[in-house]
Amino acid sequence: MYDRARAKGYKFCGLYALASPIGLIVDLDLAKHVMTKDFSHFVDRANFVNGKDDPLGAHLFSIGGKKWRNLRIKVTPTFTSGKLKAMFKTLTDCGVILEKYFQETLTNGDAVDIKDVFARFTTDIIGSCAFGIECNSFKEPDSPFRLYGQKFFTVTRLRSLQFAIAANFPALGRLVKVRAVAKDITEFFVKVVEDTVAYREKNNVRRNDVLQLLIDIKNNKEGRENGYKGDGKSLTMDELTAQCFVFFIAGFETSSTTATFVLYELATHQDIQDKVREEIHTVLAKHDNKITSDSLSELTSMRQVIDE
Ligand code: HEM
């Protein structure tokens, strides 16, 4: 559809998802306007939310309006460059486990499901960086984090249909209690987050991570003094857990899919693979063979491949 509209020189075109009209932007300048200058008109994603029956579904990616804006402002500091640098050691520690896994597996000559390997890798990273939890996705082949993460992204036809109907007719969706996150996934995740929050609060443990930011929003002065208003300025435990869930889900699947595509493209473009390989060797030699945030920032070709 995009290719057809572009070939005809349209700046945008329209389609329907059941009864809902959707505008598909084709022109890059127009897309830039929507994301920047005119963003205030386009903040909501129009996702189906059913916080009552499906508490984990009411997260940043789905909620809209003032609540999204207030919460988004409070959570954005997670991604300052200082905070990202502070997470670097965790990242490289997970890299060592990945390297060991490859050394053990590849010497046996077995084929590896690279998407699954990267999903384990990114699950461990997001667990550690965002929540200070060891997911152990390599050590335990049946790690519940991996199993439930995988289950969330296994979309059945029935689930797609339920969701399409709910997105078009939200009142009906809520009436028949459609949920984005299955009950067993919800129960597992709620328990993990509850236990971790309780541990930190009881033992006065503070960490420099997403969970800490969310705990601080839950316990902040605003909520205590003005009472809970449901406007994203303070959080209930359910809302806090939903944000943890979206960080977990959005954090592992996107990155592992990207890494899988990158490896595929490099495998099918030997010349580019050679260039990236050469660059890695040159840059690492300059940095005492250490992967640091500075050495990574010098991998220009690598970044271009990932961006592409
Ligand atoms: C290659 C990696 C990634 C890709 C391609 C990606 C892509 C996206 C896209 C397309 C959106 C929707 C943006 C929009 O509608 O304006 C989004 C939103 C989001 N992503 Fe990612 N993402 C990636 C990695 C991550 C990671 C690592 C995390 C968490 C640590 C994350 C957390 C989120 C969250 C929380 C949202 C919702 C933000 C909001 O609405 O305020 N993503 N991502």
The two tokens of residue 169 are 């007719």
Q: What is the mean pLDDT of the segment spanning 263-271?
A: 97
Q: Which tens digits make up the pLDDT trace of 115-139?
A: 999 999 999 999 998 888 889 999 8
pLDDT for res 261: 97
Give nearest CA residue, ligand 1 atom 12: 61
Q: Are 189 and 56 in contact (CB under 8 A)?
A: yes
Q: Which tens digits make up the pLDDT trace of 164-176?
A: 888 888 899 999 9
- Mean pLDDT of the residues in the chain: 90
Q: Are 75 and 232 in contact (CB under 8 A)?
A: no
Q: Which of 165-169, 202-206, 282-286 has the lowest mean pLDDT?
A: 165-169
- What's the 12 CA to ligand 1 centre distance in angstroms? 24
Q: Is the pLDDT of residue 78 over 80?
A: no
- What's the 204 CA to ligand 1 centre distance in angstroms? 31
- What's the 250 CA to ligand 1 centre distance in angstroms? 6
Most informative mutation of 33, 34, 61, 302 for ligand 1 (most atoms within 8 A of CB): 61
Ligand 1: atom nearest CA of 246 is: 35
Q: Which tens digits make up the pLDDT trace of 212-236?
A: 889 988 988 777 777 777 787 888 9
Q: Is the pLDDT of residue 95 over 80?
A: yes
Query: How far is 228 from 238, CA to CA, in rounded Å?
Result: 13
Q: Are 254 and 69 in contact (CB under 8 A)?
A: no
Q: Which tens digits make up the pLDDT trace of 38-72?
A: 998 888 887 888 888 999 999 999 998 888 998 88
